[in-house]
Amino acid sequence: MHMDLKALAKINLGLDVLGRREDGYHDVRMVMQSVYLYDNVKIEQRRKPGIELMSNLYYLPSDSGNIAYKAAQMLMEEFDLPGGVRITLEKHIPVAAGMAGGSSNAAAVLFGMNRLYDLHLSQQELMERGVKLGADVPYCIIRGTVLAEGIGEKLTILPSMPKCAVLIAKPPISVSTKVVYEALDALEIVQHPDIDGLLQALEQGSLKGTAECMGNVLEDVTIPRYPVIHDIKQEMMAAGALNAMMSGSGPTVFGLFENKMLAREAQERIRKKGLAKQAYVTNVHSARRD
């Protein structure tokens, strides 16, 4: 028995940090959106006990250092599942890029093993387990257009984002989420993103309004350290993006375009200038499990 799943990437249409909590986590208010850029996750039941994890990226951990492995381990131990499981990750989502690739893999493993082993866990029960693995995992179980609050675990499903082309570009650098949030703690946040405006634009089904209200408070930390993020944003805007912004803690930048032709022109410009080799044109994805 096996299952093949698509683990979707996410972008943040809006990301605001309200403050640091005593437990070290941060209270956030953000609007998350799935995009049709995904990792393929294959889960196979085996007679041989234990968890085997394989990936097309040699540098990814294949043990409990991998969040997808931890997800399988959690369910195997809790339900005393017989035999073992083999997980194969075919990675396409840029790694350490602010796109929740790891969290999405973990969500796919929870979802897939629930089906494969007939555990009959509800979506809510999967999310309760997911948050123990990482703050983005519950969202990656729901997917679609969602308001995330608390540390990211309080989720409210929003009206679907208007259809548009999305250009995703990741420069050849890696950014530590932990370091970005620590640096943010030392800053005084002067301008908070207009999350309420974003919610209103989504309610109205306005792509232009959604684009205008986009904002990410973490750009104040990441862009001064990595100016290439600003350069990519500028290229996207010059090529006709409705708006362009860093996703999560970066360094990935995404731009919203009215059509794929404009997005492809921007993709070509960014590649030619050597700003990002990893550049993909895709579209937003509504909350439906493939």
Identify the band that residue 290 occupies on the pLDDT scale cut at 50, 70 and 90.
Answer: very low
Q: What pLDDT, in 10s, does the model give residues 158-174?
A: 999 999 999 999 999 98
Q: Which range is least confidently modeled, 13-22, 72-81, 252-261?
A: 13-22
Region for residue 10 given its phi and psi (left: phi exceeds 0; alpha: psi -120 to 50; beta: otherwise):
beta
Q: Is the pTM of this model over 0.75?
A: yes
Task: Report whether 31 contacts 210 (CB < 8 A).
Answer: no
Percent of the chain with pLDDT over 70: 98
- Residue by residue, DSSP assigns 19-58 as EE-TTS-EEEEEEEEEEEEEEEEEEEEESS-EEEEEES-T
Q: Is 194 a catalytic residue?
A: no
How far apart are alpha carbons 83 and 80 in whole angstroms?
9
How far apart are alpha carbons 11 and 101 in whole angstroms?
11
pLDDT at 96 over 90: no
Q: Is 10 a catalytic residue?
A: yes
User: What type of residue sits at position 185?
Assistant: D
How far apart are alpha carbons 130 and 103 in whole angstroms?
9
Active-site residue among 10, 70, 170, 233? 10
Residue 27: what are its φ and ψ, rounded to 5°?
A: -80, 130
Active-site residue among 16, 39, 70, 136? 136
Q: What pLDDT, in 10s, does the model give residues 226-241?
A: 999 999 999 999 999 9
Identify the band that residue 277 occupies on the pLDDT scale cut at 50, 70 and 90.
Answer: very high
Q: Is the four-CA dihedral 33, 264, 237, 229 of positive or negative sign?
A: positive
Residue 136: what are its φ and ψ, rounded to 5°?
A: -85, -10
CB contact set of 38 (below 8 Å; sequence gap of 6+) = 6, 7, 8, 9, 92, 93, 104
